[in-house]
Amino acid sequence: MRLLMLGGTEFVGRAVTEAALATGWQVTVFHRAGTRRPEGAAVLHGDRT
């Protein structure tokens, strides 16, 4: 399974991202730069606005 997580570096998003990674999903996190991405996730930097 693949997942694109918008804002997956903070509270709820990080928990969902880490759970998906733990079950073997491929996760890409789309977020603003400045916070550390979850280990194992690919990253895209940007702003939704």
**Which residues lie below 8 Å from residue 1, measured CB to CB, with a gap of 6+?**
20, 24, 25, 26
Domain region containing 41:
24-48
Question: Does the residue 30 lie in any domain?
Answer: yes
Separation between Cα atoms, residue 31 and residue 6, nearest integer Å: 6
Look at the chain and report how many structural domains it folds into: 1
Question: Does the residue 14 lie in any domain?
Answer: no
Question: Tell me, what's the pLDDT at 31?
Answer: 87
Element (H, E) at 12: helix 11-22
Question: Does the residue 34 lie in any domain?
Answer: yes
pTM over 0.85: no
For tokens 């997942």, the residue is 3
Residue 48 has pLDDT above 90, yes or no: no
Model confidence band, residue 45 (pLDDT cutoffs 50, 70, 90):
confident
The string of pLDDT tens digits covering residues 3-40 is 999 987 888 989 999 999 999 999 999 988 777 888 99
